[in-house]
Amino acid sequence: MKFFINETDQIVNEAINGLLTNPKLAKLDSFPEVRVVIRKDWDKSKVAIISGGGSGHEPAHAGFVGKGMLTAAICGDIFASPTVDAVLSAILAATGPKGCLLIIKNYTGDRLNFGLAAEQARALGLDVKTVTVDDDIALGNDVKKRGLAGTLFVHKIAGQLAEEGKSLDEIAVAAQKVIDSTASIGLSLTEVFHLGQETVSRLTDQQVELGLGIHGEPGIEVVAYAPADQLMALAIDKLEANLPGKNGRYAMIFNNMGSVSPIEMSLLVNSFSKTKLAEQIDYMIGPGALMSSINMSGFSVSVLLLNEEFEKALLAPAEPSSWQVQSFKKPATISSPKLPETMPYEASANSGVQKLIEEVAGLLVAIEKEINGLDAKVGDGDAGSTFALAGKRLQAVVAKLPLNDTGKLLLTLGRILAREAGGSSGVLLSILFTAAGNAYSKNPDLGKALVEGLQKVKDYGGAEKGDRTMIDALQPAFESLAKKESLAIAAQQARDGADNTKNIINTKFGRSSYLSEAVLRNIPDPGAEVIARVFEKIASL
């Protein structure tokens, strides 16, 4: 795989320097041997809140340094605990008379290195307390649990209490209560792909991992790939069985493990909203990358059982931009304005026309993947889906169409496409059928009406024949019909027009004008190819 890196042994150092363009953050001048990110405005007048661990989990931990959260963060190598001296440096740099709290995730390296650094700091006369976060419930409550994104609840509440001037003892007690009130579960479609390294996948395309770690280690259980709603339900069922309070109110962290796209994360939130647990969620942090695992295609859900103290601290402002709390509610609706009826005409029967529409609609659905693949070579890869959506809609409503009235049928097709089809192709075809329907009502000649409809497409869209669009197939086919030539000849004209787009490599209009000759050569325009196949299907009936 390709990554945006320079030298693999400098990834962490360079990433920290990128983070430090934030003018409110600084690094200790022992960097890079000791990687400590600290608040530039810190004056040691309050309890210091310090955390850290291996890198690769960005924005955690350094991305949460700021007023109202962490005082300092120690960054180890990717997935490796920072050294004892690095942790001790952070303690010495940040700790004043009020002491400091170390927030540790429950991994052996972190417990050992942070623990030894705490002992050394105490020997130097500093007041240091530690808490260890173990929110992962993948294996239940009877085993040593790992620290996951629930750690961020501890960062936020401890950081706010410190900001309010609470004592170290008070903050440590509250932090432990947060840990005891937090539970997390994760699920991933892929493992981690390490930066600058070859990774051999342990999962097939039909497998996902439930109960993931955040260091590339295997999940607790391999389960079958399924739709998002089913995968979410599987994860949340396990979480619900281990909740810290069965009937309480919760805040939730909805965490992206690194490479899940924003649209998928929103879809996953929708999947979560369908679970029973969603009824108990008052606040959500995310969805977004909060404690990632480099580029794992997975998510985790962490919940915190709320009380008055926790809720107040969570809602208090915090400086780090990665921390944003919003109220959580199930999707709401408001009244929609009344639009013109999609199908304003009474249905009428015509078996021949119905068969034609059903066959064309079935074709559009059947060739979706093929046309998407073709479009991916010269466009954005969704042309097949656009036409397939129109096909599915026609399949659903064909019996309700005015099949025995050509003019009304054309107008209705225009309205259906305007309402249901996406992309420029859907809109242009809507214009075509609407204008053709209007023309047919004045002069009931289908070929001539389609030519007039196509002229409106050209007027509004701007493209002409030769610009490598579906017009290259539509125009010769419609002109053939206007001359009363057979459907077979019209289909051949459409095919010739579509095939000719393979040779059109220099245009001044549309997306093809943005592409090089090398990309366009020998690739037909996807829209023109669909039109040719539609005419070939009609001619075969």
Catalytic residues: 215
139, 213 contact by CB (below 8 A) = no
Determine the residue type at 451.
V
Contacts 24+ apart (CB under 8 A), 505-511: 507/466, 507/467, 507/468, 508/467, 509/462, 509/463, 509/464, 509/467, 509/469, 510/463, 510/467, 510/468, 510/469, 511/378, 511/379, 511/380
Integer CA distances (angstroms), 267 to 278, 306, 322, in order? 14, 26, 21
Q: 5 and 195 in contact (C-beta within 8 Å)?
A: yes
Calpha distance 243→357 (Å, rounded)? 54
List the structure tokens of 212.
Answer: 């993931």
Phi, psi of 58 (to 5 degrees): -55, 145
Contacts of 262 (CB under 8 A, 6+ apart): 287
Handedness of CA 447, 449, 452, 453 (dihedral sign): negative
DSSP β-ladder status, 182-188 and 298-305: antiparallel
Radius of gyration of the chain (CA): 31
Residue with tokens 């068969």: 355
Q: At 449, list the tokens.
A: 């009406």
Looking at the DSSP assignment, which residues form a beta bridge with residue 75?
53
State the pairing for strand pair 325-327/281-288: antiparallel
